[in-house]
Chains A and B, each alone.
Chain A
Amino acid sequence: MTFVVFYPFAAAVCYVLLRRDKNRRIWSNIMVCAGLVELIAAICLLPGAPSTKEAGLFIFTCGNYARILSIVTAFGWTVAALFSKEYMKDDINIARYDFFSLLTLGAASGVFLAGDLMTLFCFFEIMSFTSFMWVAHRQTRAALYASGTYLGISVAGGMSILMGLFIIYAGEGGNWIYAAAVCMIAGFGAKAGAFPVHAWLPNAYMEAPAPATALLSAVLSKTGIWGIWLLSQNDAYCYPGEFVLVIGVITMVYGGLRGVFSSSLKVTLAYSSMSQIGFILTGLGIMGIVNVPEKEDLYNMAVSGTFLHMINHSVIKLVLFLAAGIIFMNVGSYELNRVRGFGRKKPFLLVMFFLAAAGVGGIPLLNGYYSKTLLHESIALCGAYTGNQFIKASEYLFLFSGGLTAAYMIKLFMIVFVEKNEDNALQSEYESNKKYASVPTKSAVLLCALPIPLIGISAIFSDENIFSLSNLSSALISIIIGIIVYIAAVRLMMYNKKSMRYADIFPKWMDMEKYVYRAVFFKAVPFVLGIISRVLDSFTDMLVIILRKTLYREKALPYELPEGNRITHRIGHSMENIRRIYYTVTKKDYEPKYYEHELALKNTDFFESLRIIERSLSFGLLMFCIGLLLTMAYLLIKN
């Protein structure tokens, strides 16, 4: 088990030490092999009972779900490496990309196999930072912008989780434990892409290279989900199911709407990811609500639905993002108007894309139908069980979001594979392009697409009646909603018949990333904190300055006055000032009268005459008389 986690780290170190820039092909093959080793190691974990292992500070456990997820991780990573062989062959900084990919692989495995929250957190943080390099890989201005937001939200999410961990590890009770749960859900939700902490998602998905985006969506979003999942599995953590449900429903609907309204292939897929994460979160919420002994069946159904949707979403998003990568490789853009008509007369691409789109859209006999039916059933039963109006409403919202999913998938499929490009020359170029992808690339997509029908067909053998009439009809409802939304939103609102182009109709000012997160967290909060801190910072210095201006004023040393003494100086100065004020008030021209000087002269005169008197004989006699009088008075009183 420790091998699965630490082998990629060791491989990364070896890779970066040995790698030379020659022989790119060999090194890309080595990367695929590295992935295969990890995949085999992960599969080797499958037999045997769940076990726990300690490695230093870390504790690893392989439960059943964790083992499957780590296989999916290794599988997705290997496929992405296979795909990168062609996709990244002329890219810059391949060594850096591969190095951080390997690290991310190890960290993601660590997250899934973590045995306690501390281990989970450590690997989660490592993963956040190594995957940062995926987003920033292209080093363009846009990539830096996206990666900046990604980094910010990752760090904030990590710290939020850390806060939750502090509370849990300190063994707090009462309201604190709820605060811990909310903190941790916020942190993990940020990585998953839950509303409202999804703001990084569209741009980051857009800027990362296609195989990295596929992994971001297929693996990294699942690590966030996995964190919340673990929270829900332990009764000690007071898992707030209702809260997760609300978040999930909002994410589901919001992601779906943005997906429909987007005019870029990859952004649509990114919001699709978000929307599917919403489905999973909804399932997690239901899991929390029905986690009571008497509803064990329902709980198990919610668990299997949620988990299956996690796997399904991973597989489907791998196919979709890799297919989008193939299109980008040839067209050089994700703009819907540019890629329009690219898929015509390309049967392989069409089949793959159709499988994935139909899978996520919930067509029976494909995997998405299976998991969505389970989720839908459990929401419906949960609504009936609790009688809560919101849960009942969320059942309808669930169907509506399923419709939105169908709508944007129909949109993509129609545009890429059915419609023709407005530019006829480009269209004919697209149609004649038969060597649009190499064999490894195609096999990578094919490998990912295989599980879609397999899982879908396996639903026949499940215990629940998946293909019952009511389930089929709710699938049908979703698809009908999807077609209606497609016609209303895409054909009527987005498509401009005159210019024959699709326009992005989502208002620009509703950009949460730019106007909420960046504005608030990168600008406003530091600004306010900065002002407060500046005041505090200069507190002591200001105190010193105030003291120096008042109590401890810096006076010149007592100096010799040129004439007169202190008293005459003060009085004269004051009189001069009074006179000046008087003249100012009466608005006359001020003529100095030099009171100080005059007083000083008077003073000198006075003391001069005093001194003369002192030295005179009469003064001596006077003093003698006074002394005599005093003596007599004393004698008189004494007697």
Chain B
Amino acid sequence: MDYLILSPVVLPIITGIVLLILPQKVFKNRKALLITAGISVVVSTCLTLFIISGAVGSSVGMFCIVDDIRIYFNIDDTGRLFAATAAVIFALTGFFSFGYMAHEKNEKRYYAYYLMTFGVLVGLCFSGNLVTMYMFYEFMTIVSVPLVLHNGSREAVMAGLKYLIYSFCGSYMALFGIYCLYRYTDTLDFVGHSTLRADELVQSGNVQLMLAASFLMILGFGVKAGMFPMHAWLCAAHPAAPAPASAFLSGIIVKGGILAVIRTVFYCIGSDFLRGTWVQTLWILLASITVIMGSALAYKERILKKRLAYSTISNLSYIMLGLAFLSESGFRGSLLHVVFHAVIKTALFMFAGSVIFVTGKVRVNDLAGLGKKMPMLFRAYTVAALGLTGIPPMSGFVSKWYIGLGGFSSDIPVFSRLGVVALIISALLTAGYLLPISVKGFLADENNGSMALHYKEPPRIMLVPVIVLAAATLVLGIFPVPLVEFINGIILDCFL
């Protein structure tokens, strides 16, 4: 019966493959395709939510690859948190794309890869040991590339290649770490605490090697999370994809990297081993640099989707920074930000997509006065933007609060304080690059007179997901307590 937990992994992948194989003419018109895809999306989401609400702690071991390395799935709280976030965002983005993809070609291929990506992602969340996770991590890269390549333009292809190369570089760094870990851990399974044989490591004199390996793993998995210096793919790949795909990539896929880092650092290596070492210092430093760099570049960027991609780089490093502090509060803030950033960034990309869908405008300056034509969309955007800036009572504030507190309870005195300063500066820049859009959207007069009269709100299937996400931003900010309690449970596991 435990094999049932694999259904949310297998079902979307199989559906995706079937969709790929079926010839176009099976679907007589767009509606038939949409109904098929819609049913698949809804069923996959419901199945995932059903499994993670019911089957806690159930695990299933598959075949062994070699000796004692097996393909093993296990559902724990961290996985549930990530999978639940992914499922909700997946469904909303799915509905959004039913509206948006009307003016793109090759819809069938898009939905096929979209479903497969989700299945792989759930597999990543459910993975029970490092090797299984690594496998799904690689799958995830491969199946999400077609989303980037989708429109087939030269820019998109180059971005896709860049994405591939960076991801593989990262994976190989991580792979080296896995070899080292295999030698010095009891098991590569995620048992909820560190499995490192620290005594043996000290005796063998390979502590520095292990530290280097840990750093490589953080850096390698950090590629997906867009951490400096391996971030350059993100601002190329995300804007190149169609808007709903960028929303899903920026909101959810990148969190795969975060999850991998959490699994490595807190479940295998153990936070105690890294605390106070040069690895932690360097990690904090790189994350802080990324935080400010992403925001500053977003501030200077004029194309909305690129601006949001840079913003993703910066915000993912908030999460990395919170993890790097290796303190309970920072960890709590990071996990909260995983959820909140997923919600907010998806909403923002959907906003960008809606604007492109209705008006075809991609530049920030062209959006002035547009708020009067689509007030609901811009209101939702404003709420999300305030959330990302971290203004109470929006949700972004709660996560930033815990990350900031984490910085002051960390063991690296100077750099972690500077990390918090970086967080504050980045928040200022965030306000600077997000808020003017809604201010100008609502208040600026259309002085150029080129604003067409027929611009109106996007279709309901696109508008509703944005509003739902904006409402979630607000509600999660006002009532964060249940989520915080849930994360406290995870912390009890990881910080023993």
Where the two chains meet, the residues of A that have a C-beta atom closer than 8 Å to any C-beta of B are 56-57, 121-122, 125-126, 129, 136, 139, 143-144, 147-148, 151-152, 155-156, 158-160, 162-163, 166-167, 169-172, 522, 526, 529-530, 532-534, 536-541
Kindly list chain A residues whose C-beta atoms are within 8 Å of the C-beta of B386: 129
- Assess whether B392 is in contact with A126, with CB atoms less than 8 Å apart: yes
With A529-B296, A537-B232 known to touch, is A166 a contact of B289 (CB < 8 Å)?
Answer: no
CB distance from B372 to the nearest CB of A (A): 10
Kindly list chain A residues whose C-beta atoms are within 8 Å of the C-beta of B479: 56
- Assess whether A139 is in contact with B443, with CB atoms less than 8 Å apart: yes
With A126-B393, A144-B444, A537-B293 known to touch, is A530 a contact of B300 (CB < 8 Å)?
Answer: yes
- Assess whether A170 is in contact with B408, with CB atoms less than 8 Å apart: yes
Interface of A: prevailing SS: helix
Within 8 A of A (CB), among B373-420: 386, 389, 391-393, 397, 400, 404-405, 407-409, 420
Q: Which 7 residue pairs across A and B have the least CB separation, nearest first?
A: A170-B408, A122-B392, A529-B296, A533-B296, A533-B293, A530-B300, A166-B404
Using A56-B481, A162-B427 as known contacts, list a sample of 5 further A-B pairs with CB atoms less than 8 Å apart, ordered by residue number in A.
A122-B397, A155-B435, A162-B404, A163-B420, A533-B293
With A144-B444, A529-B292, A536-B293 known to touch, is A166 a contact of B230 (CB < 8 Å)?
Answer: no
- Assess whether A163 is in contact with B421, with CB atoms less than 8 Å apart: yes
Residue of B nearest to A144 (CB): B443
Kindly list chain A residues whose C-beta atoms are within 8 Å of the C-beta of B397: 122, 125
> What are 14 sample pairs from A and B whose C-beta atoms fall under 8 A apart?
A122-B397, A126-B393, A143-B443, A147-B439, A148-B439, A155-B427, A159-B428, A162-B400, A170-B407, A171-B408, A526-B432, A530-B297, A540-B229, A541-B232
Kindly list chain A residues whose C-beta atoms are within 8 Å of the C-beta of B407: 166, 170
CB distance from B453 to the nearest CB of A (A): 20
Kindly list chain B residues whose C-beta atoms are within 8 Å of the C-beta of A170: 405, 407-409
With A144-B443, A166-B405, A526-B432 known to touch, is A129 a contact of B296 (CB < 8 Å)?
Answer: no
Q: B424 contacts the other chain (Cβ, under 8 Å)?
A: yes
Q: B445 contacts the other chain (Cβ, under 8 Å)?
A: yes
Residue of A nearest to B431 (CB): A155
Q: B463 contacts the other chain (Cβ, under 8 Å)?
A: no
With A162-B404, A533-B296, A536-B228 known to touch, is A526 a contact of B392 (CB < 8 Å)?
Answer: no
Kindly list chain A residues whose C-beta atoms are within 8 Å of the C-beta of B300: 526, 530, 533-534
- Assess whether B296 is in contact with A172, with CB atoms less than 8 Å apart: no
Q: B273 contacts the other chain (Cβ, under 8 Å)?
A: no
Kindly list chain B residues whose C-beta atoms are within 8 Å of the C-beta of A160: 424
With A139-B445, A533-B293, A540-B232 known to touch, is A158 a contact of B391 (CB < 8 Å)?
Answer: yes
Residue of A nearest to B165 (CB): A544
- Assess whether A163 is in contact with B424, with CB atoms less than 8 Å apart: yes
Residue of B nearest to A158 (CB): B391
Interface of B: prevailing SS: helix
- Assess whether B443 is in contact with A136, with CB atoms less than 8 Å apart: yes
Cβ 8 A contact of B297, one of A139, A144, A152, A537: A537
Q: B168 contacts the other chain (Cβ, under 8 Å)?
A: no
Task: Kindly state the separation between the CA atoms of A424 and B435 in the bound complex, as whole angstroms.
Answer: 48
Q: B134 contacts the other chain (Cβ, under 8 Å)?
A: no
Task: Kindly state the separation between the CA atoms of A533 and B294 in the bound complex, as whole angstroms.
Answer: 8
Task: Kindly state the separation between the CA atoms of A158 and B445 in the bound complex, as whole angstroms.
Answer: 29
Kindly list chain A residues whose C-beta atoms are within 8 Å of the C-beta of B424: 159-160, 162-163
Q: B182 contacts the other chain (Cβ, under 8 Å)?
A: no
Task: Kindly state the separation between the CA atoms of A541 and B436 in the bound complex, as whole angstroms.
Answer: 31
- On chain B, which size bracket covers the interface? 35 or more
Q: B139 contacts the other chain (Cβ, under 8 Å)?
A: no
With A125-B392, A147-B439, A538-B232 known to touch, is A155 a contact of B445 (CB < 8 Å)?
Answer: no
Kindly list chain B residues whose C-beta atoms are within 8 Å of the C-beta of A538: 232
- Assess whether A144 is in contact with B439, with CB atoms less than 8 Å apart: yes
Q: B299 contacts the other chain (Cβ, under 8 Å)?
A: yes
- Assess whether A159 is in contact with B444, with CB atoms less than 8 Å apart: no
Q: B130 contacts the other chain (Cβ, under 8 Å)?
A: no
CB distance from B429 to the nearest CB of A (A): 7
With A144-B444, A166-B408, A538-B232 known to touch, is A136 a contact of B439 (CB < 8 Å)?
Answer: yes
Residue of A nearest to B444 (CB): A144
With A540-B230, A541-B232 known to touch, is A532 a contact of B443 (CB < 8 Å)?
Answer: no
Within 8 A of A (CB), among B239-298: 289, 292-294, 296-297
Residue of A nearest to B390 (CB): A162
Kindly list chain B residues whose C-beta atoms are within 8 Å of the C-beta of A162: 400, 404, 424, 427
Task: Kindly state the separation between the CA atoms of A148 and B408 in the bound complex, as whole angstroms.
Answer: 32
Task: Kindly state the separation between the CA atoms of A170 and B432 in the bound complex, as whole angstroms.
Answer: 28
Task: Kindly state the separation between the CA atoms of A169 and B400 in the bound complex, as whole angstroms.
Answer: 14
Task: Kindly state the separation between the CA atoms of A536 and B432 in the bound complex, as whole angstroms.
Answer: 21
Task: Kindly state the separation between the CA atoms of A144 and B296 in the bound complex, as whole angstroms.
Answer: 23
Task: Kindly state the separation between the CA atoms of A522 and B429 in the bound complex, as whole angstroms.
Answer: 10
- Assess whether B408 is in contact with A536, with CB atoms less than 8 Å apart: no
- Assess whether B420 is in contact with A166, with CB atoms less than 8 Å apart: yes
Cβ 8 A contact of B296, one of A121, A122, A530, A541: A530
Kindly list chain B residues whose C-beta atoms are within 8 Å of the C-beta of A532: 293, 296
Kindly list chain B residues whose C-beta atoms are within 8 Å of the C-beta of A539: 228-229
Most buried by A among B294, B404, B407, B421: B404
With A139-B443, A144-B439, A158-B391 known to touch, is A533 a contact of B405 (CB < 8 Å)?
Answer: no
Task: Kindly state the separation between the CA atoms of A156 and B480 in the bound complex, as whole angstroms.
Answer: 25
Task: Kindly state the separation between the CA atoms of A258 and B424 in the bound complex, as whole angstroms.
Answer: 33
Cβ 8 A contact of A156, one of B289, B408, B420, B428: B428
Kindly list chain A residues whose C-beta atoms are within 8 Å of the C-beta of B296: 526, 529-530, 532-533
Task: Kindly state the separation between the CA atoms of A457 and B295 in the bound complex, as whole angstroms.
Answer: 57
CB distance from B371 to the nearest CB of A (A): 11
Task: Kindly state the separation between the CA atoms of A536 and B297 in the bound complex, as whole angstroms.
Answer: 10
Kindly list chain A residues whose C-beta atoms are within 8 Å of the C-beta of B480: 57
Residue of B nearest to A128 (CB): B391
**Bitwise interface map of B from 459 to 480 toward A, beta carbon under 8 Å scored 1, else 0:** 0000000000000000000111
- Assess whether A57 is in contact with B481, with CB atoms less than 8 Å apart: yes
Residue of B nearest to A172 (CB): B408
Kindly list chain A residues whose C-beta atoms are within 8 Å of the C-beta of B293: 532-533, 536-537
Residue of A nearest to B301 (CB): A530
CB distance from B190 to the nearest CB of A (A): 31
Task: Kindly state the separation between the CA atoms of A322 and B265 in the bound complex, as whole angstroms.
Answer: 62
Kindly list chain B residues whose C-beta atoms are within 8 Å of the C-beta of A125: 391-392, 397
CB distance from A225 to the nearest CB of B (A): 21
CB distance from A119 to the nearest CB of B (A): 10
Kindly list chain B residues whose C-beta atoms are within 8 Å of the C-beta of A163: 420-421, 424
Kindly list chain A residues whose C-beta atoms are within 8 Å of the C-beta of B445: 139
Kindly list chain B residues whose C-beta atoms are within 8 Å of the C-beta of A152: 431-432
- Assess whether B391 is in contact with A129, with CB atoms less than 8 Å apart: yes
CB distance from A191 to the nearest CB of B (A): 15
Cβ 8 A contact of A151, one of B229, B299, B393, B435: B435
CB distance from A5 to the nearest CB of B (A): 12
Kindly list chain B residues whose C-beta atoms are within 8 Å of the C-beta of A172: 408
Kindly list chain A residues whose C-beta atoms are within 8 Å of the C-beta of B232: 537-538, 540-541
Task: Kindly state the separation between the CA atoms of A157 and B189 in the bound complex, as whole angstroms.
Answer: 47
Residue of B nearest to A529 (CB): B296
Within 8 A of A (CB), among B295-340: 296-297, 299-300
Kindly list chain B residues whose C-beta atoms are within 8 Å of the C-beta of A529: 292, 296, 299, 429
CB distance from B400 to the nearest CB of A (A): 8
Residue of B nearest to A168 (CB): B408
Kindly list chain A residues whose C-beta atoms are within 8 Å of the C-beta of B230: 540
Residue of A nearest to B298 (CB): A533
Kindly list chain B residues whose C-beta atoms are within 8 Å of the C-beta of A541: 232
Task: Kindly state the separation between the CA atoms of A147 and B444 in the bound complex, as whole angstroms.
Answer: 12
- Assess whether A155 is in contact with B428, with CB atoms less than 8 Å apart: yes
- Assess whether A167 is in contact with B408, with CB atoms less than 8 Å apart: yes
Kindly list chain A residues whose C-beta atoms are within 8 Å of the C-beta of B421: 163
Residue of A nearest to B406 (CB): A170
Most buried by A among B293, B478, B479: B293
Within 8 A of A (CB), among B337-395: 386, 389, 391-393
Kindly list chain B residues whose C-beta atoms are within 8 Å of the C-beta of A533: 292-294, 296-297, 300
Residue of B nearest to A170 (CB): B408
- Assess whether A526 is in contact with B443, with CB atoms less than 8 Å apart: no
